[in-house]
Amino acid sequence: MKILHFADLHLDTAFTGSGMAPEIARSCRARLRKTLNRLVDLALEYKVDAVTIGGDLFEGDRVRRDTVQFMSSCFAQLAPIPVLIAPGNHDYYSPISPYARHPWPENVTIFKKPFPEPFDINDETTIWGLAHNTPSERKNLIENFKVPQDDRLHILLLHGSEVGNYVENRAAHAPFHLRDIQEAGFSFALLGHYHSARIMELESPIAVYPGSSQPLGFGEDGDHSFALLSSQPDFIECECINIATQAFHSITLNPQDASDMHNLAEEIVTSAGKRAAEANFLRLQLSGIQNKELHLDLDYLKEFLLNYFEHVAITNTMRTALDITELSQEPTVRGAFVRKLQQVLSENHDDQELVRMALQYGLDAFDGDELLK
């Protein structure tokens, strides 16, 4: 038995939060559609017995009618392979949602209730799926649930937040612990909500977040994949396979050793690391004390970087030596901080670089700035 599982595609997401130009945001939305086409092709290629979707398939408050028709057409290509959807907080099930109002293909099953309901995909395996009925479900939806005591393989399909071992910086929806999966009697859980991929274990693998199929903004690091689940009579095997073709790169760089602008630009490209196949977006913060020999030209820098990235946003928080001298004369806590570190630097201490970093990070903290991650 083989299942292809994905989640958090977020079709029709705006991409405006990343500061992109409208035409770039449109290309990102088109890339999400292309990703769904690719997932359908992969399901056919792997000859899976079912496709499962762990919620947030689309943006419920933005989804277009033609996007709903597009999804429906994609899933029809998979027939008779069942497509099972567990709506999440962005695409929650309601009487007026596309899940309720659109005539979906016969091979599509959409779970509607906020408690597990069964779907038998063969003589040995049952998928238990459930839906969010609100955009802010805060209850544990599998608490006190038990699967039947039989010889079947019971698998959970849920959009929710595992709150014990794997926490992302996003709101908790339908929170649960890994032990809840085990205590309910499930052999495995196919999950959605967290946007970076991870297979989670207790004594053995018990759950998977495939991550969002594409990263959707800055800060979404990690792998973005689909999961391939295979079961044998005595074990379950799960593999996450990266499918992302776009990437968001966030860099904080202290260019004090850069000899010229070309050298600095090349250092930034190298620091960004591996680039995705189709599209790459860069958020750059320049920090530290500016090298007197470096004539900073942000227009040149951005023009150079646009040869490698579709979108470039640069924040310059560098200070000159004159800035530091002026700050040291302030009758403030910040001024005292600068004077103390200037004194350490003047003593020719072995850790000069460390002290310079402490000076920069301290001044950033006084300004209320945070390091980009």
Residue 370 has a pLDDT of 54
Instruction: Kindly list the distances between the CA atom of residue 19 and the CA atoms of 46, 209, 282, 356, in Å, as whole numbers in the listed order.
Output: 38, 28, 11, 32
With 60 as the cut, is the pLDDT of residue 90 above it? yes
Nearest-angstrom CA–CA distance, 359 and 198: 37
pLDDT at 339 (0 to 100) = 86
- For 79, other C-beta atoms within 10 Å of its C-beta total 12
Report the relative pairing of strands 117-120 and 125-129 from DSSP bridges.
antiparallel
At residue 373, does pLDDT exceed 50?
Answer: no
Higher-pLDDT residue of 124 and 368 is 124
Give the number of other Cβ atoms within 10 Å of residue 249's Cβ: 22
Q: Which of 182, 189, 181 is nearest to 210 (CA)?
A: 189
Q: What is the pLDDT of residues 248-307, one digit of tens each?
A: 999 999 887 788 999 999 999 999 999 999 999 999 999 877 777 788 899 999 999 999
In DSSP terms, 108 is beta-bridged to 83
Report the mean per-residue pLDDT for the chain. Answer: 92
Q: What are phi and psi of 346, to 5 degrees?
A: -70, -15
pLDDT band at 321 (very low <50, low <70, confident <90, very high): low
DSSP 239: E
DSSP H or E run through 108 = strand 108-110
- Number of Cβ within 10 Å of residue 342's Cβ equals 16
Question: Which whole number is the average pLDDT over 298-322?
Answer: 90
User: Distances in Å between the alpha carbon of 57 and those of 10, 71, 87?
Assistant: 5, 9, 8
Average pLDDT over residues 181-195: 97
User: In terms of DSSP H, where are the helices of the chain?
Assistant: 22-46, 65-76, 98-101, 178-184, 261-271, 298-305, 321-328, 333-346, 352-366
**147 or 363, greater pLDDT:** 147
Q: Listing from the earlier edge strand, what are the strands of the sheet with 246-253? A: 246-253, 279-286, 311-316
The percentage of residues in the chain with a pLDDT greater than 70, rounded to a whole number, is: 95
Q: Name the residue with higher pLDDT: 324 or 309.
A: 309
- Residues 89-94: what's their mean pLDDT? 98
Instruction: Work out the average pLDDT over 214-231.
Output: 95
- DSSP-based three-state secondary structure for 23: helix
Report the C-alpha gap between 196 and 176 in whole angstroms.
Answer: 18
Q: What residues have CB less than 8 Å from 127, skipping those under 6 apart?
A: 50, 52, 84, 118, 119, 120, 121, 155, 156, 157, 190
Q: Tell me: the pLDDT tens digits for 191-208?
A: 999 999 999 998 889 999
Span 42-87, pLDDT tens digits: 999 999 999 999 999 999 999 999 999 999 999 999 999 999 999 9
From 134, 129, 103, 104, select the one nearest 118 (Cα to Cα): 129
φ, ψ for residue 178, nearest 5 deg: -55, -35
What are the pLDDT digits (tens) for 16-52? 877 899 999 999 999 999 999 999 999 999 999 999 9
CA–CA separation, 105 and 101 (whole Å): 13
User: Domains in the chain, please, with CATH?
Assistant: 2-242 (3.60.21.10), 246-366 (no CATH)
Give the model's pLDDT for residue 298. 94
Q: Does pLDDT of 363 surpass 80?
A: no
For residue 62, give both structure tokens. 């933005």
Question: What sign has the CA pseudo-torsion 67, 73, 74, 80?
Answer: positive
